Structure 1
Amino acid sequence: MNDQLLVATRKGLFILHHHRDGRWQTAETHFLGEPVSMALVDPRDDTLYAALNLGHFGVKLWRRRAGAAEWEPCAVPVYPPQPDPLPEPLPDHPPAAPWSLQQIWALEPGGSDQPGVLWAGTIPGGLFRSDDGGDSWTLNRPLWDRPERTEWFGGGYDAPGIHSICVDPRDSRHLTLAVSCGGVWQSHDDGASWDCTSAGMEADYMPPERREDPNIQDPHRMVQCAGTPETLWVQHHNGIFRSSDGGAQWQRLFAQPSSFGFAVAVHPLEPDTAWFVPAVKDVCRVPVDARFVVTRTQDGGASFEPLDDGLPSPPAYDLVYRHGLAVDATGLRLAMGSTTGGLWLTEDGGEHWQCLSAHLPPIYCVRFG
Structure 2
Amino acid sequence: MNDDRLIVGTRKGLFVFESDEADPHRWKQTAIHFIGEPVTSALADPRDGTLYAALNLGHFGVKLHRMPAGASEWEPCASPVYPPQPEAELAAAEAASATEASAGANAQDGPQTNAPAAEPLWSLEQIWTLEPGGADEPGTLWAGTIPGGLFRSDDRGESWTLMRSLWDRPERREWGGGGYDHAGIHSVLVDPRDSRHVTIGVSSGGVWQTFDSGATWRPTSKGMQADYMPPERREEENAQDPHRVAQCLSAPDKLWTQHHCAIFRSIDGGLHWTRIEAQPSNFGFAVAVHPHDPDTAWFVPAVKDACRIPVDGRFVVTRTRDGGRTFESFSEGLPSGLAYDLVYRHGLAIDATGTRLAMGSTTGGLWTSNDGGESWRELSAHLPPIYHVSFA
User: 1:217 matched to which residue of 2?
Assistant: 240
User: 2:382 matched to which residue of 1?
Assistant: 359
User: 2:125 matched to which residue of 1?
Assistant: 102
Alignment of 1:14-163 (within 5 A): 14-22=15-23, 23-86=26-89, 88=92, 98-163=121-186
User: 1:328 matched to which residue of 2?
Assistant: 351
1:125-181 deviations in whole A, cap 9, x for unaligned?
Answer: 000000000000000110001111111010110000000000000000000000000
1:302-340 deviations in whole A, cap 9, x for unaligned?
Answer: 011101111101201100000000001000000000000
Contact 1:97 1:124 in 2 (8 A): no
Contact 1:176 1:187 in 2 (8 A): yes
Give the Å deviation of 1:85.
2.5
Report the secondary structure of 2:251's partner residue. coil
Distance 1:15 1:24, change over 3 A: same
Matched, 1:318 2:321: no
User: 1:307 matched to which residue of 2?
Assistant: 330
Q: Which amino acid in the other structure matches residue 84 of structure 2?
A: P
User: 2:260 matched to which residue of 1?
Assistant: 237
TM-score by structure 2 length? 0.92
1:35-93 deviations in whole A, cap 9, x for unaligned?
Answer: 0000110000000000000111100000000001100000000001110121746x99x
Structure 1 unaligned regions, length at least 5 = none
Greater helix content: 2
Give the Å deviation of 1:351.
1.1
Residues matched between the structures, number: 368
User: 2:366 matched to which residue of 1?
Assistant: 343
Distance 1:199 1:122, change over 3 A: same
Output the CA distance in 2 between the equivalents of 1:98 and 1:244: 35
- Percent identity, aligned pairs only, is 69
1:92-148 deviations in whole A, cap 9, x for unaligned?
Answer: 9x9785200000001000000000000000000000000000000000110001111
Output the CA distance in 2 between the equivalents of 1:336 and 1:156: 21
Output the CA distance in 2 between the equivalents of 1:150 and 1:81: 16
1:187-238 deviations in whole A, cap 9, x for unaligned?
Answer: 0000000010000000011111110000010000000110000001000000
Matched, 1:263 2:280: no
Contact 2:85 2:120 in 1 (8 A): no
Output the CA distance in 2 between the equivalents of 1:97 and 1:140: 18
Give the Å deviation of 1:260.
0.2
Output the CA distance in 1 between the equivalents of 2:202 and 2:166: 12
Report the secondary structure of 1:120's partner residue. strand
Output the CA distance in 2 between the equivalents of 1:251 and 1:97: 37
Q: Which amino acid in the other structure matches residue 223 of structure 2?
A: G
Structure 2 unaligned regions, length at least 5 = 101-117
Runs of 4+ in 1 over 3 A off after TM superposition: 94-97
User: 1:279 matched to which residue of 2?
Assistant: 302
Q: Which amino acid in the other structure matches residue 32 of structure 1?
A: I
Report the secondary structure of 2:152's partner residue. strand
User: 2:204 matched to which residue of 1?
Assistant: 181
User: 1:169 matched to which residue of 2?
Assistant: 192
Output the CA distance in 2 between the equivalents of 1:244 and 1:106: 24
Report the secondary structure of 1:150's partner residue. helix
Output the CA distance in 2 between the equivalents of 1:353 and 1:67: 31
Matched, 1:289 2:290: no
Output the CA distance in 1 between the equivalents of 2:201 and 2:337: 33
Output the CA distance in 2 between the equivalents of 1:364 and 1:286: 16
Output the CA distance in 2 between the equivalents of 1:150 and 1:318: 34
Q: Which amino acid in the other structure matches residue 301 of structure 1?
A: G
Matched, 1:12 2:13: yes
